Amino acid sequence: MQDPVLIIGASGTIGSAIAHTLSESGNKLILHGRRETDALRTLAVALDARYYAADLTSDMAAQEFFEVVGQENVHLSGIVFCAARPFPHKLALRTDWTVFQEQIDTQLKALHTTLQAFKPALEKRPDGARIIILSTEYVLGTPPQKIAPYIAAKAALTAYGQVVAQELLKAKIRVHIVAPGMVRSALTADMPDQYLDMVETEMPEAKFTSAEDVARVCALLMCHDGDPLYGTVIPVSRAARR
């Protein structure tokens, strides 16, 4: 039986697109969402996949999730980490620290505890396993204002990913870091449509990066062809940031 890929944050816009693309490529999937929602259930049915809901920022909920999934899956072929949580768009110094902490817990803490829990299941793959971490293109240049908690958490996540990419290589586990451009999603839902339309028309191709753009790159990285790219931050953006 094929070893599954665990997708953390599968019910989000990008996570769902990755799930569809990996499924179409023949991967068996395990889907995770922070809450049990219609979107998560519908996705699981459509892809014939099991799903679990757990808030990975909660130590108790995370431990229960790790134990259940671990008992049912001795081996994993990979993990895709694309957890996300909306945040208020405010200037950095007008943002309460609790918002920063929530983003850091959603990104860095959740990834760290997930990798600790499932490293043994990844190590048991004789031909190697893969981890894909979703960062953001804003860690590669000057970020916009009013998203400081998100950027701070993603910057920490990216640095962490680069470190564990070196540590896990000896176990034949390759860590890839993908940095998408702006995608219309729940994270942009509170931005005015007029503003988003203006930003989109000013892009070189006059369109945002799509979740499908990101998903296709992730599908490449989940197979041997993408292995040489481990540990690098790979931009997937239509904003021509170079």
pLDDT tens figures, 171-225 = 999 999 999 987 766 655 565 556 555 555 666 654 677 889 999 999 999 999 9
Terminal-residue alpha carbon distance, the chain: 42
**Per-residue pLDDT at 126:** 85
Q: In the chain, where does DSSP find H-type helix?
A: 13-24, 38-47, 59-72, 97-104, 110-123, 148-169, 193-201, 211-221
75 CB-side CA count, 13 A: 12
Rounded to a whole number of angstroms, the CA Rg of the chain reads: 17
Mean pLDDT, range 99-112, rounded to an integer? 98
Residues with Cβ within 8 Å of 130's Cβ and at least 6 positions away in sequence, in order, are 77, 78, 79, 173, 174, 175, 176, 221, 222, 226, 227
**CATH, residue 63:** 3.40.50.720
**Per-residue pLDDT at 8:** 98
Whether residue 134 is contained in a domain is answered as: yes
Whether residue 239 is contained in a domain is answered as: no
CA nearest 151: which of 87, 230, 81?
A: 87
Whether residue 240 is contained in a domain is answered as: no
Can you tell me whether residue 87 is helix, strand or coil?
coil
The better pLDDT of the pair 119, 205 is held by: 119
The better pLDDT of the pair 24, 189 is held by: 24
Whether residue 28 is contained in a domain is answered as: yes
Whether residue 149 is contained in a domain is answered as: yes
- Total domains, the chain: 1
Whether residue 168 is contained in a domain is answered as: yes
| DSSP structure class, residue 114 | H
Question: Where does the pLDDT of residue 127 fall: very low under 50, low under 70, confident under 90, or very high at 90 and above?
Answer: confident
* Structural domain boundaries enclosing 36: 5-234
| C-alpha to C-alpha distance for 25 and 220, rounded to whole angstroms | 10
Predicted confidence (pLDDT) per residue in 128-187, tens digit: 999 999 999 999 988 889 999 999 999 999 999 999 999 999 999 999 999 998 776 665
Whether residue 90 is contained in a domain is answered as: yes
> Would you say residue 1 has pLDDT above 60?
no
